Amino acid sequence: MPKFQIDGKEFEFKNGQTVLEVALENGIDIPHFCYHPLLSISGNCRMCLVEIEKMPKLMISCSTLAAEGMVVHTQSERAINARKAVMEFFLINHPLDCPICDEAGECKLQDYTYQHSIGESRFTETKNLKEKRVPLGPYVMFDGDRCIACSRCIRFCDEIAKSSQLTFVKRGDRVTIETFPGMQLDNSYSLNVTDICPVGALTNRDFRFKARVWDMSATKSVCIGCSRGCNIEVWVRSNEIMRLTPRFNPDVNQYWMCDEGRLKTWKHVNSDTRINGPQLRKNGTLAEVGWDEAYAFAISELKNFNKDEIGIILSSSASMEDNYMGIKFGKSVLGAKYFGYKSKVLKGSGDDILITDDKAPNTFGLELLLKSFSVRIENSFEQVMSLINEGKIKALLVIEDDILSGSEELNKTLDRLDLLIVTASNMNKTAEKAHIIFAASTYAEKNGTFVNVSGRIQRTKPAVVTSERERSLDGFEMSRLDKFGTEWDKWGKVNKIEARASWKILNGLGVVMGQKLKYNMAEEVFVDLSKTIDKLSGLDYRAIGETGVQLKLTNTN
Amino acid sequence: MEFKFSEENLQKIASVQKNYPDKRSSIMPVLYIAQEQNGWISHEVMAEVAHLLEITESEVYGVVTFYTMYHKKQVGKFHLQVCTNVSCMLRGGYDIWNKIKDKYNLEDGGVTQDGKLSLEEVECMGSCGTAPMIAINEDYFENLTPEKVIEIIDSLK
Amino acid sequence: MHRIVLPDIKNLQEIDVYLANQGYYGARLAFQKSPDDIIEIVKKSGLRGRGGAAFLTGLKWSFMPKVTSKPKYLCVNGDESEPGSFKDRQIFEFNPHQLIEGILITCYAIGAQTAYIYIRGEYHKWIKPVQKAIDEAYNNGFIGSRMKETFGTQFSCDIFIHKGAGAYICGEESSLMNSIEGQRAYPRVKPPFPAQNGLWGNPTTINNVETITNVPPIIKNGSEWFSSIGEPKHPGTLLFGVSGHVNKPGVYELPTGTLLTDIIEKYAGGVINAKRIKCIIPGGTSMPPLKGDSIEGLKMDAESLRAAGSAIGTGGIIVMDEDTDLVKVLARMTKFYYHESCGQCTPCREGTGWMLKILKRILDGKGTKSDLDLLISIANNIDGNTVCALGEAAAWPVKFTIARFRDEFENRVNESIQIPVNNKVHSMRKTKNPIDNIEIR
């Protein structure tokens, strides 16, 4: 492999790699604004200027190809002075409003000002003014004063979202970014521009002014909005989710996620509709009870049915662990024969970027499970429903799915049941009909695994604590407030929901029924289930890690 | 107001597009043709150009706002472009600029109430050897004095 | 006296007159040679680009790939927007066929099938004669598919005019290409260079109008004839455009190496009212200005001007007499670069505005002594750090005017009484936006 030098150290490179790419690969941080690994090179910010021996001018490292024997200096006097100069130019017209800017704490300009600027301003003129608080679209807000014209957002729309909605207008220091008048930045991926904006020019309208970056914990997890399984971070303050951001995974979502996933997959976690503890139907109305009472009641009711009269509805949105326990509990405890799950495929709703037709994150995994238990799956949901209509199935256990949602016609079907038990995180149409509701944790409150559309198994991790857990004791990500806040300050008083993971609920029911289901942790469930599915054998949570493991797809499911 | 190219101009466009390997590249001549028909480049014009060239409106918008000769707002029947760059300045370009401003009560970018005149301070027009100069619409007037300029403008019909 | 680009022949713009004077004979000769021979002849002639950088034309042509599956292009740069330059319009008006003939030969040499003549949009009047000449040339079979019959060659090419729309930056060759492609005319990051990756990603050569117009006579008369004219290292003639405080401003075609003082005195009729020259810009406003008392014996060619601390640029000479207010001149020049900065890269986008604000303040009598060093520092911070040469074009006048005429600037700031108010930022949001408010009167 050819070699060249950066700051006196020798590095190997592949032909076609730029100086900046090799530097970043090797942990040398050449500062840069406009460069983004997945966007075209625009070379406009001039921050990555370096000195290269035998070249008269400083060169931008983002566009300069590494060459055999090249000698690069990032810390020479000329290079340092160029960075100081560029920083000064950036700052002359940039508002000094970090204390009220949402980007503060994760702002490249702020960071570089500390690292690479002269620390004082020689600019005594009046600053240029541009448009502030411009809603570019339904989700993105623009602040013209803060924009440094790096063009990342424009290139993102052109090259990744394939929707040229943003453009530079005007020239010189009058340049700003606009949509065509009367039109909006409303492509399905618009919020990614807020992630790649290196300053506070583009902010997420759903999140802006809600929290400071350093007051939140960020937990690595996976989006449950569709079967893509985009890797994300769940940002939590005071035990409340504030936002999701995409997390780099070259094999799944690169740096991106869709707006739908970012905005609509977590509001239910914080919602008022959360089911807070188990509920039993007494004299026609639902009433909150303790876990033990709910377990005991459920068992006594279930005993009234023989095994042919019991149906189990699993969920392609629930984790492997929850579904596994659903099948295991159904088969070995209740002896049930009829299993099914409701498909969430919306034909034509996907695109060729990230969004898939299947709005469930774990269809692939659920089918693996069903197959390993030799459960017939074609039309299983419809079959269960028609058996209820025929009066053959009289008791139904629904795990984490609102099966009435979008299927109003099933109302009458469910009315025929003698017993409906659900595990659910939020009150929904199905739960409203239930005789027994077990309060379930959401994906953001538990460990779990999901298999995405291309057969990659990935983990969710708990970011929000429920009443059964402690953030500090159970290995949660911690924010500054979590570490140093007290119960006496505003941030310390957190709201905890009384809920358990569905696998844990089913485990509890099994134990009460005298079975040997003694799982204490999700990972124990996983280790067990991995033994029943060939493709998962040998895997555990550590092996799956932060970015998942691709399952072998050679044989059919 | 909706904008549609005239039949004649659509033919002109088809003809100019032969000079370029793709439709998009013909945007600058197409905008000129639109400006000739409409007098200026309105949002409706940009939308129609985008439609015609099969690109997004914002791409057209970016191009229009880059070049000074596409009028982003209505200009007068006679658009006065006064060069004040160095060679003209040395020969009295600002005298002409100030004279026009005062006499017709116009600011940079302004239009007279009757819509007859509009004023723009422009950069070097390539008349340094015949400075000072103004351009009125597409025509150059060179070797001027403030008096001559007023005479020329007042004779415009 | 040699006049190569603008021969003293009446009505040469008419195709009949042009043909009667050996018109298109150079092309005929060229097509009998190999493209490599043409490049060799032009290399040997020592012809350098007339657009500002004075780069060897034959060498530039030789960068074009010989073997490629892609179409190749020639762009002829007639954007002519450098303040002080008004030479190409003479060619458009008085000798367009020689330009066309030069394009044919150049296309043949570099293997281009298509040429675009980029003419600034303001030049409505000068686009017409060029278009007329192109149409005539097509009708006579000198351009296009009929070239094969006319010249008995397998080669043919097309020539189109692309009209600019008001943007100085389009004179920068990569901006010019983006403009032809119908984009915002941002300069491109180099490398890759146009010969590898130019118009629509294809190999492209960009030459100035005057450069190309020199080509037919070189082919007709040979490289030795050309290289013997003017200064050996920068041979031929230049179209010197003289403007400012002279009695007979205009374009004069003279051999390179002609004395600057001769140009002013003998041709441009001397300084108005026989005043002394305070400052003179030798090659368009982007080139460093010279002191009026330093030009004795100065020859007008690339090497001599470099030695004198300036550059030949486009040969646009701006003469300023002893009464000229150089602070105002510099402020006006800086306003130009501020207005024309494309806004793509940081140092130029931000720096041009900053320099203008300071100069305007000095002009308004609110300057301080430290402003002068600050201006030079800003200019140094722009210089060399930008995507394209507009950075230098904006920085050099500031650096060199202040350095070479420091007294005048110091006198101006010493007169100042008011100390500028420090950074106003947000408390001043309701005041008028400075970017709408920079006027020099």
Give the pLDDT of chain A (557 residues) as one tens digit per residue. Answer: 999 999 999 999 999 999 999 999 999 999 999 999 999 999 999 999 999 999 999 999 999 999 999 999 999 999 999 999 999 999 999 998 999 999 999 999 999 999 999 988 899 999 999 999 999 999 999 999 999 999 999 999 999 999 999 999 999 999 999 999 999 999 999 999 999 999 999 999 999 999 999 999 999 999 999 999 999 999 999 999 999 999 999 999 999 999 999 999 999 999 999 999 999 999 999 999 999 999 999 999 999 999 999 999 999 999 999 999 999 999 989 999 999 999 999 999 999 999 999 999 999 999 999 999 887 766 689 999 999 999 999 999 999 999 999 999 999 999 999 999 999 999 999 999 999 999 999 999 999 999 999 999 999 999 999 999 888 888 899 998 888 877 777 776 788 999 999 999 999 999 888 877 789 999 999 999 999 999 999 999 999 999 999 998 765 44
Mutation for testing the B interface, residue in C80, C88, C169, C183 having most B CBs under 10 Å: C183
Q: Is the pLDDT of residue C417 over 70?
A: no
Rounded distance between C-alpha atoms, residue C9 and residue C372, angstroms:
51
Same-domain status, A449 and A300: yes
DSSP-based three-state secondary structure for A142: strand
Mark whether A49 and A141 lie in a shared domain: no
Search chain B and give the residue with CA nearest A172.
B66
Rounded average pLDDT over C112-139: 98
Query: What is the number of structural domains in chain A?
Result: 3
In a domain, B71, yes or no: no
d(CA C154, CA C147): 8
Q: Is residue B69, in this structure, part of any structural domain at all?
A: no
The 8 Å CB, 24+ separation contacts for B120-123 are B120/B75, B120/B79, B120/B80, B120/B81, B120/B82, B121/B81, B121/B82, B121/B84, B121/B97, B122/B68, B122/B81, B122/B82, B122/B83, B122/B84, B122/C122, B122/C166, B123/B83, B123/B85, B123/C81, B123/C83, B123/C168, B123/C336, B123/C339, B123/C340
**A536: Cβ contacts below 8 Å, ≥ 6 apart:** A368, A457, A529, A530, A551
Q: How far apart are CA C364 and CA C375, in angstroms?
A: 16
Contact assignment for A42 to C189 by CB distance below 8 Å:
yes
DSSP assignment of A213-269 equals GGGSEEEEEE--SSTT--EEEEEEETTEEEEEEE--BTTTTBT---HHHHHHSSHHH
User: Chain B contacts of A165, Cβ < 8 Å?
Assistant: 56, 58
- Is position B1 within any domain? no
3-state secondary structure C184-229: CCCCCCCCCCCCCCCHHHCCEEEEEHHHHHCHHHHHHHCHHHHHCC
Q: Which residue of B has its CA nearest to C83?
A: B124
Q: What is the pLDDT of residues C284-304, one digit of tens each?
A: 999 999 999 999 999 999 999
Q: Which of the four pLDDT bands, split at 50, 70 and 90, describes residue C415?
A: confident
Q: Are A174 and C343 in contact (CB under 8 A)?
A: yes
The residue of chain C nearest to residue A86, with distances taken between CA atoms, is C347
Query: What count of residues does chain C have?
Result: 441
Q: Are residues A203 and A173 in the same domain?
A: yes
Q: Position of tokens 């000798």?
A: C95
Same domain, residue pair A55 and A83: yes
Mean pLDDT computed over C251-268 = 98
Closest CA to B117 of B136, B98, B99, B133: B136
| A183 and A154 inside one domain | yes
DSSP state of A440: B
CATH architecture of C326-436: Up-down Bundle (1.20)
The reply to whether B73 falls in a domain is: no
Whether residue B41 is contained in a domain is answered as: yes
Q: A281 CB contacts (<8 Å, ≥6 apart)?
A: A287, A434, A435, A436
> Are residue B97 and residue B60 in the same domain, yes or no?
no
Q: What is the CATH number of the domain that holds A80?
A: 3.10.20.740
Return the CATH number at A204: 3.30.70.20
C337 touching chain B per CB within 8 A = no
Q: Do A127 and C422 touch (CB under 8 A)?
A: no
**Is B31 a member of any domain?**
yes
Q: Which of C59, C57, C252, C28 is nearest to C140 (CA)?
A: C28
**Contact (CB, 8 A) for C330 and C359:** yes
Distances (CA, A) of C277 to B84, C146, C184: 21, 54, 40
Name the nearest CA neighbour of A419 among A393, A401, A438: A393
pLDDT surpassing 50 at residue B33: yes
Are both A384 and A525 inside the same structural domain?
A: yes
C230-321 is a CATH 3.40.50.1000 domain: no
Q: Could you identify the residue written with the tokens 């639902």?
A: A286
pLDDT confidence tier of residue C426, bands split at 50, 70 and 90: very low
Residues of chain C with Cβ-Cβ distance to B129 below 8 Å are 86, 241-243, 249-251
ipTM of the complex: 0.97
Are B57 and B83 in a shared domain?
no
Express each pLDDT in B82-136 by its tens digit: 999 999 999 999 999 999 999 999 999 999 999 999 999 999 999 999 999 999 9
Question: What CATH number has the domain bearing residue A390?
Answer: 3.40.50.740
- A77-92 vs C346-363: helix crossing angle, rounded to 10: 60
Q: Which of C163, C324, C336 sits opposite B28 (nearest CB)?
A: C163
Q: Are residues B83 and B147 in the same domain?
A: yes
**Cβ of C15: how many Cβ atoms within 10 Å?**
21
Residues A296 and A385 in one domain: yes
**Rg of the Cα atoms in chain C:** 23
| DSSP 8-state symbol, C4 | S
- Among A271, A268, A218, A215, residue whose Cα is nearest residue A246: A218
CATH code of the domain containing B122: 3.40.30.10
Domain of B18 in residue numbering reads as 7-64
Looking at A92, A115, A149, the residue that finishes a domain is A92
For residue A162, what is the nearest residue in chain B, using CA coordinates? B56
Answer yes or no: do B60 and B112 share one domain: no
Work out whether strand B78-83 and strand B117-122 pair parallel, antiparallel, or are unpaired.
parallel
> How many CB pairs below 8 Å do chains A and C form together?
122
Looking at A39, A74, A92, the residue that finishes a domain is: A92
**Cβ atoms within 10 A of the Cβ of C250, count?**
17
Best CA proximity match to C42, nearest among C303, C217, C195: C217
Interface residue ranges in chain B relative to chain C, Cβ cutoff 8 Å: 19-22, 24-29, 31-32, 62-63, 66-70, 81, 84-87, 89-91, 94, 97-98, 108, 122-131, 135, 138-140
CATH of the domain at B31: 1.10.10
> Helices C25-32 and C96-110 sit at what angle, rounded to 10 degrees?
10
Q: Are residues A296 and A247 in the same domain?
A: no
Judgement on whether residues B87 and B150 belong to the same structural domain of the protein: yes
Closest Cβ–Cβ partner in C351, C429, C435 for A89: C351
Residue C424 in this model has a pLDDT that exceeds 90: no
User: Cβ–Cβ contacts within 10 Å for residue B54, how many?
Assistant: 9
Domain count, chain B: 2
C434 pLDDT tier (thresholds 50, 70, 90)? low
**Mean local confidence (pLDDT), C389-404:** 97
- Is A180 close to B58, i.e. CB distance below 8 A? yes
| Domain contains B2 | no
**Distance (Å, whole) CA C345 – CA C387:** 6
| Predicted local confidence at residue C418, as pLDDT | 56
CA–CA distance, A179 with B119 (Å, rounded to integer): 29
Range of the domain at A400: 279-461+498-544
The answer to whether residues A2 and A15 touch, using CB atoms and an 8 Å cutoff, is yes
Give a yes or no: residue A72 inside a domain: yes
The residue out of A270, A290, A324 marking a domain boundary is A270
Question: What CA–CA distance (Å, rounded) separates A460 from A541?
Answer: 10
Q: What is the CATH number of domain C15-227?
A: 3.40.50.11540
Cα B41 versus chain centre, distance: 10
Return the half-sphere exposure (C-beta side, CA atoms, 13 A cut-off) of residue B34: 28
Interface test with C, best of B23, B32, B66 (most C CBs within 10 A): B66
CA dihedral C14, C17, C19, C21 (to 10 degrees): -140
Q: Which of A152, A205, A160, A162 is nearest to A44 (CA)?
A: A152
3-state SS, residue A182 = coil
In 3D, which of A323, A325, A288 has the Cα closest to residue A439? A288
Same-domain status, B141 and B107: yes
**Same-domain check for residues A194 and A253:** yes
Considering chain B, what percentage of its residues have pLDDT values greater than 70? 100
Which strands sit side by side in the sheet containing C73-78, from one edge to the other? C158-163, C114-119, C73-78, C204-208
Q: Which two tokens stand for residue A400?
A: 């984490």
B81, closest residue in chain C (CA to CA): C122
Does B62 contact A169 at a Cβ distance shorter than 8 Å?
yes
Same domain, B92 and B147: yes
User: Chains with ≥3 Cβ pairs under 8 A against A?
Assistant: B, C
Contact: B131, C249; criterion CB under 8 Å: yes
Three-state DSSP state, A497: strand
Residues B97 and B53 in one domain: no
pLDDT at C420 over 60: no
Give a yes or no: residue B72 inside a domain. no
Q: Determine the residue of chain C that is closest to B30 in CA distance.
A: C182
Are both A286 and A210 inside the same structural domain? Answer: no
